[in-house]
Structure 1
Amino acid sequence: MSSPFLTLPGAVGEPVALHYGSPVAEQRALDAGNAVVDLSHRGIITVGGVDRLSWLNSMTSQQLLGLAPGVATETLLLDPNGRIQHAIRVVDDGETAWLLVDEDSAESLATYLNRMRFALRVVVEDVSERFAAVLAFEGGSATTALRALEPVVEWADPWAEVARGGTQYAHGEHAGADWSAVQFVFPAAALAAVSRAAAPAGLMALDALEIRAWRPSRAADVDDRAIPHEFDWLRSAVHLTKGCYRGQETVAKVHNLGHPPRRLVLLHLDGSEGELPIAGALVFREGEAADPDARPVGRITRAALHHEWGGIALALLKRSVPGDLTLAVRSGSAAADPQAPVAGAIAAAQEMIVPTDAGATRNIPKLKRL
């Protein structure tokens, strides 16, 4: 079903709008709490039954036992090696757990969950066709207007604080300390009324605000070897002292004894050329981006033009890259191909998210060997 938001004036993109003709103005309105973003392309799964929370708790990274109705949290489904497979936003209404997931995730997650039911009293249903989510920030008129339409549930993003049982790798004041995004779930039939409740903002506006707040996204930032530590996701989605779950050994080992092999950084991009790198663009040490034989030290996950900070990007770098090193990002449509001709480079300065010494919290002394 086509989203009613796409019928609004200026809508560009599908299955949801990337923007409505004024991406920067939309971003300002969204940041102020006066606009709403259509997330109807994302998935929604419901889990009913008396065993729902203990069952989900046994498989995922967050402590879900005793989750009170209306309290929002997020959890990760990892593979046996601790790699991220699904990022799941969870809110329970007292009878049903609502799982909000990224685009292209609902079907595979629902299939996995149904395989894992065994004899437990749980009912799993992919309701992505019947319900849809939208997002707004607190502090303005949008959340008030959306609540007046009586959403089925709402999920208040916990990114602003370190969750109980979690930990933060980033030093000093966190860029997401004021993050106040809320996702509202409505019946799909109500989406037309929702689209008229507040000014619309596209996904480009949300991307820019997420990048500035260091907010990771499974769909945009995670690849097939990503682990939570690389994104400082132990901050909100991992409980370090709960019981066992799939991938828990890797989570504990990297945090206690090792270091994440890569680290997420915010890059401030040189805006003199007015160009943003594409997702996947390779990152090099300063002065090496034009060298076809140079080895990259990382890659861009996504980039955006922020209404206050200009060109910014999130990048995954090798842990060994010094935090004060100036970098350069290859530009052009082939920037993610190491074998492609070098078109140009964009200078970039790092803002530390995950520090180079993240992990190894136990500091176990080495034994002398004979």
Structure 2
Amino acid sequence: MTVVMVEDLDPSSADAGVAAHLGDPMREQRLLATAVGLVDRSHRDVVAVPGEERASWLHTLTTQHLTGLSALQGSELMVLSPHGHVEQHAYVTEDGSTAWLDTEPGAGAGLLKYLEMMRFFTRVEPRDASAEIAVLSLVGPGAADLFPDLAPPRVAVVPGPKFAAGQVPAQATSNYAVRPYEGGLARRVPLGVDLLVPRAARTAVIEKLGVPLAGLWAYEAIRVEHRIPRLGWETDHRTLPAEAGFTAPAVHLDKGCYRGQETVARVHHLGRPPRRLALLHLDGIATDQPPAQGTPVTLDGRAVGFVGTAVRHHELGLIALAVLKRNVADDAELRVGDSVAAVDPA
């Protein structure tokens, strides 16, 4: 097996430390699309939040409704700036004594710093747990078969503008079933099942599962196809949650005050976020290389957005998640570098 690490291809990548592919990226994508594969995502940062007041504390600091999150449940949350811009995004997994927050590689320090700053006299003890816990992802329709006791993920429908108070249930807008697994936790998510396992047991868990391996390139292609945003890729310094597709899984619109809540409410009730997340199809004529993150998307020579994640998909060809100005029409002829790009209106 030929293992090609991310840093072998891009030494500056934030995804360094895991395999980009294992010799055949297209075969690995098909595996994740049609069966099940195991992707090593152990480069993700993890913050542990033990303490008896953790649920109510995280509820007040983040965008998610967490007071009712019970043992063996998971969800998603965000930390926003005072002006409502995205600063942090994490999955939260509750085991009954600790809330485990896993986030993007390199983002954990900023998340932990904010949590420590907001402790005051609350009975919580947040700490960096990246050296303790590794994230592995089982991706594909066959992942559910390996954990049949985990209920399918539930993500609430975002209410329309100017909804009536009390219309949004007082619970997390995304609910991911969790159970103990090999000294850690298994969490059902939209793309399959995430495993949060002791880092020292990572190799043993991989061998025990016996599931074919796939690299991060394949995972990212499936993620882009399903329009799942990623902090730092589909966000910039002024991204609002509604612009990048984070509202449904990570933002409760009727839970009361948190930092940035006024902006979130105003944008939602006006019904017109300045930008939107879109899936682009690139023609691939001038080049078959995916454009880099941050590449401008232009219309008639004017920048109207930026590329977040671009991939070569095994069926769809060159595709990209992009954040575009809201008034860009679905039938606009866009350009990304030397490529013509079209918005997928689905």
Which TM-score tier does this pair reach, normalised by the shorter chain? Answer: 0.7 to 0.9
CA-CA distance at 1:75 after TM superposition: 0.8
The aligned counterpart of 1:367 is none
One-letter code aligned to 1:41 = H
Higher mean displacement: 99-108 or 247-256: 99-108
Residue 328 of structure 1, aligned match among 324, 332, 335: 335
Residue 276 of structure 1, aligned match among 260, 275, 290: 290
One-letter code aligned to 1:182 = V
Residue 193 of structure 2, aligned match among 161, 182, 186: 182
2: CA distance between counterparts of 1:103 and 1:271? 30
CA offsets, 1:238-273, max 9 Å, x none?
Answer: 111101100000000001125211111110111334
The aligned counterpart of 2:39 is 37
One-letter code aligned to 1:298 = G
Q: Assess, with a 3 A threshold, how the Cα gap between structure 1 residues 141 and 283 changes in structure 2: closer, same or farther.
A: closer
Residue 218 of structure 1 aligns to a residue whose secondary structure is coil
5+ residue gaps, structure 2: 7-15, 162-188
One-letter code aligned to 1:308 = E
CA offsets, 1:173-228, max 9 Å, x none?
Answer: xxxxx943321111111111233332211111111111111100003211111110
2: CA distance between counterparts of 1:156 and 1:91? 15
The aligned counterpart of 1:114 is 116
Q: Write 1 or 2 for the structure with the bigger share of strand.
A: 2
Q: Equivalences for 1:171-320 in 2 at 5 Å? A: 179-196=190-207, 197-257=210-270, 259-273=272-286, 274-285=288-299, 288=300, 294-320=301-327
Identity %: 40
2: CA distance between counterparts of 1:119 and 1:264? 39
1: CA distance between counterparts of 2:150 and 2:2? 28
One-letter code aligned to 2:2 = P
One-letter code aligned to 1:191 = R
Tell me if structure 1 keeps the 8 A contact 2:132–2:198.
yes
1: CA distance between counterparts of 2:304 and 2:160? 24
2: CA distance between counterparts of 1:110 and 1:100? 11
CA-CA distance at 1:63 after TM superposition: 0.5
5+ residue gaps, structure 1: 1-7, 149-153, 170-177, 289-293, 331-344, 354-370
The aligned counterpart of 1:98 is 100
Tell me if structure 1 keeps the 8 A contact 2:37–2:140.
no
The aligned counterpart of 1:5 is none
2: CA distance between counterparts of 1:22 and 1:168? 44
CA-CA distance at 1:33 after TM superposition: 4.0
Q: Assess, with a 3 A threshold, how the Cα gap between structure 1 residues 16 and 155 changes in structure 2: closer, same or farther.
A: farther
CA-CA distance at 1:10 after TM superposition: 2.4
Residue 276 of structure 1 aligns to a residue whose secondary structure is coil
Tell me if structure 2 keeps the 8 A contact 1:157–1:182.
no
Tell me if structure 1 keeps the 8 A contact 2:298–2:304.
yes
2: CA distance between counterparts of 1:10 and 1:112? 37
Q: Assess, with a 3 A threshold, how the Cα gap between structure 1 residues 209 and 100 changes in structure 2: closer, same or farther.
A: same
One-letter code aligned to 2:123 = R
Residue 5 of structure 2 aligns to a residue whose secondary structure is coil
Residue 135 of structure 1, aligned match among 114, 134, 137: 137
2: CA distance between counterparts of 1:135 and 1:33? 13
One-letter code aligned to 1:83 = H
One-letter code aligned to 1:246 = R
The aligned counterpart of 2:164 is none
The aligned counterpart of 1:351 is 344
Residue 323 of structure 1 aligns to a residue whose secondary structure is coil
Q: Assess, with a 3 A threshold, how the Cα gap between structure 1 residues 157 and 328 changes in structure 2: closer, same or farther.
A: farther
Q: Assess, with a 3 A threshold, how the Cα gap between structure 1 residues 142 and 25 changes in structure 2: closer, same or farther.
A: farther
Tell me if structure 2 keeps the 8 A contact 1:33–1:138.
yes
The aligned counterpart of 2:181 is none
Alignment size in residue pairs: 307
CA offsets, 1:336-361, max 9 Å, x none?
Answer: xxxxxxxxx211110247xxxxxxxx
1: CA distance between counterparts of 2:138 and 2:36? 8
- TM-score w.r.t. length of structure 2: 0.82
Residue 224 of structure 2 aligns to a residue whose secondary structure is helix
CA-CA distance at 1:168 after TM superposition: 7.8
